[in-house]
């Protein structure tokens, strides 16, 4: 990557790194559980489970990385931070065995967790970007009203 690139700012790179950490946690957890729990190997051997775990990070990257405005980029970083923290809180206890898992519906649980994460990402993105758009609109309206007011010198 070029250091002078206007698209890959420091904020976008940090957002990308947080999304990669979230993706590694979400894909690595079923892999670790399958490797450490002999009864889970049968249920967690399907590639669909690992693919489903990547979908939330890919959706988040598609929604948060393309924006060029500073406010939208910063919002993407905040949302990526929240996603990374939530992934750590959800997957680290499972991967370490603190939260025991098992049973024949284990794989479905991972897919449902990924689907719920996608829904949460879509909702959080809609809310955050609506707030950012409203703040931008309000700031531009205030600036245009200040420019339209005559001063005493005129």
Burial of 150 (0-12, 13-18, 19+ CB in 10 A): exposed
- Report yes or no: 56 and 113 within 8 Å, Cβ to Cβ: no
Considering the entire predicted model, what is its pTM?
0.82
**More reliable by pLDDT, 17 or 147:** 17
Burial of 78 (0-12, 13-18, 19+ CB in 10 A): middle
Q: Radius of gyration of the chain from Cα atoms? A: 21
Residue range 89-101: mean pLDDT, rounded? 89
54, 26 Cβ separation under 8 angstroms: yes
Phi-psi region for residue 103, left (φ > 0), alpha (ψ -120 to 50) or beta?
left
Quickly state the pLDDT bin for 148 (edges 50, 70, 90): low
Q: What is the pLDDT of residue 153?
A: 58
The answer to whether residue 96 scores a pLDDT higher than 80 is: yes
Highest mean pLDDT among 35-44, 89-98, 129-138: 89-98
Label residue 71 exposed, middle or buried (CB < 10 Å: 0-12, 13-18, 19+).
middle
At 55, the pLDDT band (50, 70, 90 cuts) reads very high
Phi, psi for residue 18 in degrees, rounded to 5: -65, -40
The mean predicted confidence, pLDDT, of the chain is 87
Residue 64: name the closest of 131, 19, 112 by CA. Answer: 19
């Amino acid at each position: 990557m070029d250091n002078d690139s206007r698209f890959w700012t420091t904020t976008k790179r940090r957002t990308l790194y947080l999304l990669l950490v979230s993706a590694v946690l979400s894909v690595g957890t079923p892999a670790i559980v399958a490797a450490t729990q002999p009864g889970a190997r049968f249920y967690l051997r399907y590639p669909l489970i690992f693919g489903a775990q990547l979908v939330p990070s890919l959706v988040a990257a598609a929604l948060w990385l393309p924006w060029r405005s500073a406010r939208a980029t910063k919002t993407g970083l905040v949302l990526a931070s929240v996603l990374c923290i939530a992934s750590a809180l959800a997957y680290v206890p499972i991967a370490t065995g603190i939260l025991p898992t098992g049973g024949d519906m284990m794989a479905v649980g991972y897919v449902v967790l990924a689907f719920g994460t996608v829904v949460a990402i879509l909702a959080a993105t809609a809310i955050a970007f609506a707030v950012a758009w409203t703040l931008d609109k309000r700031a531009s309206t205030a600036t245009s009203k200040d420019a339209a007011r005559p001063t005493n010198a005129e």
